[in-house]
Amino acid sequence: MSSDYAADIRKYTAQVNDKAVDSIVKFCGIALKGADSQWVSMSDNAEVQRVVNGFCAKKLGLDAATAEAAVKAVGEKMKADRTKHRVTVYYLVAEQTGTLGKLA
């Protein structure tokens, strides 16, 4: 299953750390099964804040300003993709902030 996530992540980055992907999948848990909750809406400020206050703060230990800047940068990077998978967004945020090591 994480190979599907890794394939999506590879659209945006060359190297994919499978242990980090597995850690993100475990963190997200049941949310990945929901029709809407598996996606991140970058145009919804409340959703961006959920990512900042949830994954970024709890899993990566980032302060709000750093996390918000990273999420916005990832949103810009993924702009052409109408659907932004939660695992991909989280992975790219970790990569953007240099915190992938906290996931592996």
pLDDT in tens, 14-60: 899 999 999 999 999 998 998 889 999 999 999 999 999 999 999 99
Helices (H), the chain: 2-9, 18-28, 45-51, 64-77, 86-97
Nearest one of 8, 23, 6 to 99, comparing CA atoms: 23
* pLDDT attached to residue 3: 62
In whole angstroms, how far apart are CA 81 and each of 4, 41, 86, 102?
Answer: 16, 11, 13, 27
Question: What range defines the domain where residue 74 resides?
Answer: 2-102
Write down the mean pLDDT value for the chain: 93
Reported as a pLDDT band with limits 50, 70 and 90, residue 104 is: confident
Length of the chain: 104
pLDDT in tens, 54-98: 999 999 999 999 999 999 999 999 999 988 999 999 999 999 999
Number of domains in the chain: 1
Name the 3-class secondary structure at 96: helix
Q: Tell me, what CATH number does 35's domain have?
A: 1.10.238.120
* pLDDT attached to residue 2: 58
pTM of the model: 0.94
